[in-house]
Amino acid sequence: MIRVLHITGKMDMGGIETFIMNVYRRIDKSKIQFDFLLSSDEKFYYSNEIISLGGRIFHVPSRNGGKNICKNTKALNNFFEKHTEYTIIHQHVSSLSYITPILLAKKNKIPFRILHSHSTQDFGNHLNTFLHYIHKPLAPTLATDFFAASNPSAEWAYPSSIIKSKSYRLVNNAINLEDYNYDYKNRIQTRKKLSIGSDEIVIGNVGRFVNSKNHEFILEIFNELVKKDPKYKLLLIGDGPLVDKIKSQIKDYNLEKKVILTGVQSDIPSYLNAMDIFLFPSLYEGLGMALIEAQATGLKCVTSLNAVPQEVDITGLVDFVSLEKTAEKWADKIIKITYYSRQDYSNEVKKAGYSIDQTVNRLEEFYLSNH
């Protein structure tokens, strides 16, 4: 059995983490086991499940905005010097502002070093963006293999030499399609649990309450929708550092009776079944895994033009609107597509290559041939 070391910041219910867990649950653990190196000592949403699946979790100090760079670097180097059992590391990144793990993995002669890009830009801060562009030309000297969630995600992370030679692999943010079948009975049950009336129209979003997911704009759009038609309700699934700010904005708009905040939920398909339109005005996405899940349940989606890769539209259910358009224009688009015949699209999602079994098989083959 080989052990693959996945390197990321944390293991909460974000897009990157959910993708890793979707793969981890289904990979043949008699041949391949996952371990995790995290730049935090917290306990995360997926921590207990990782342990139950046989994985190990290691921690190094975070950089803490640059204050702990020396501690972080020293801890990483000590880790790789001690743990010589790894022949494959798989580092997941939103940008190349933090390349210390893969650099030290090379220094410690780990033969197979994967960089996996999951985003198309980094709005963290100006320093992160500066470091990303400084480090970008170094990527081919540090990694042996290059993965990306989409073509724009690859173009963001890797230099032109990698892009022009197509030396990267697209790894689809796939899902377990059996979970995401459209289920009318489940829809009725979930809406009843949430006290949503049969004539009410539910606009929904699934995502962490962070800047990139643009929850403030979601509320602006929804406020315009309610002005035009009081039958609309908003369903927001997730949690995060901006949740209190969003709660305050809901009060400012007097929308307390119109917005449902569920917090983090494990049964995402049930909530998608309860929705009528999926609203996803993200500032940037590597692909937009939540949009793949929404499409599988037959939801029409409205998302950001030029900020979300257009290749995410694998069913024809996705409409793109520029973030430069007003909230009212976004609301008009939603009204225009609100009424449609809902049906299951899981077969179309599978044909597009987004079944988790397809992705697991590809990764298993890669890991087993490179160790």
Determine how many CB atoms are found less than 10 A away from the CB of residue 113. Answer: 20
Q: With a cut of 70, say whether residue 124 has pLDDT above it.
A: no
| Residues in Cβ contact with 285 at an 8 Å cutoff, skipping those fewer than 6 apart | 15, 119, 120, 212, 304, 307, 308, 309, 312
Do residues 297 and 272 touch, judged by C-beta distance below 8 A? Answer: yes
Q: With a cut of 70, say whether residue 276 has pLDDT above it.
A: yes
pLDDT, residue 69, reads 85
pLDDT, residue 187, reads 97
For residues 94 and 220, the model is more confident at: 220
Average confidence (pLDDT) over 328-352? 95
- The tens digit of pLDDT for each residue in 175-221 reads 899 899 999 999 999 999 999 999 999 999 999 999 999 999 999 99
Q: With a cut of 90, say whether residue 7 has pLDDT above it.
A: yes
Confidence of residue 261 (pLDDT cuts 50, 70, 90): very high
Q: Closest by alpha carbon to 149, among 167, 166, 173?
A: 173
What domains can be seen in the chain, in order of their start residue? 2-174+355-369 (3.40.50.2000), 177-351 (3.40.50.2000)
Q: What is the pTM of this model?
A: 0.87
Q: With a cut of 90, say whether residue 12 has pLDDT above it.
A: no
Rounded distance, CA 10 to CA 122, Å? Answer: 17
- The mean predicted confidence, pLDDT, of the chain is 94
pLDDT, residue 286, reads 84
Rounded distance, CA 15 to CA 287, Å? Answer: 10
Confidence of residue 43 (pLDDT cuts 50, 70, 90): confident
- The tens digit of pLDDT for each residue in 238-260 reads 999 999 999 999 999 999 999 99
Average confidence (pLDDT) over 260-283? 96
pLDDT, residue 119, reads 87
Average confidence (pLDDT) over 39-51? 88
Do residues 6 and 35 touch, judged by C-beta distance below 8 A? Answer: yes
- Which of 171-185, 228-242, 289-303 is predicted least confidently? 171-185
pLDDT, residue 65, reads 63
| Beta-strand relationship, 145-148 and 232-237 | unpaired
pLDDT, residue 4, reads 98
Grouping H, G, I as helix, E, B as strand and the rest as coil, residue 35 is: strand
- What is the residue whose two structure tokens read 């399609």? 177
Residues of the chain with pLDDT > 70, as a percent, come to 98
pLDDT, residue 268, reads 95
Confidence of residue 67 (pLDDT cuts 50, 70, 90): low
pLDDT, residue 122, reads 65
Do residues 196 and 274 touch, judged by C-beta distance below 8 A? Answer: yes
Q: With a cut of 90, say whether residue 370 has pLDDT above it.
A: no
pLDDT, residue 304, reads 97
Residues of the chain with pLDDT > 90, as a percent, come to 82
Cα–Cα separations (whole angstroms), residue 283 to 124, 280, 286, 305:
12, 9, 11, 10
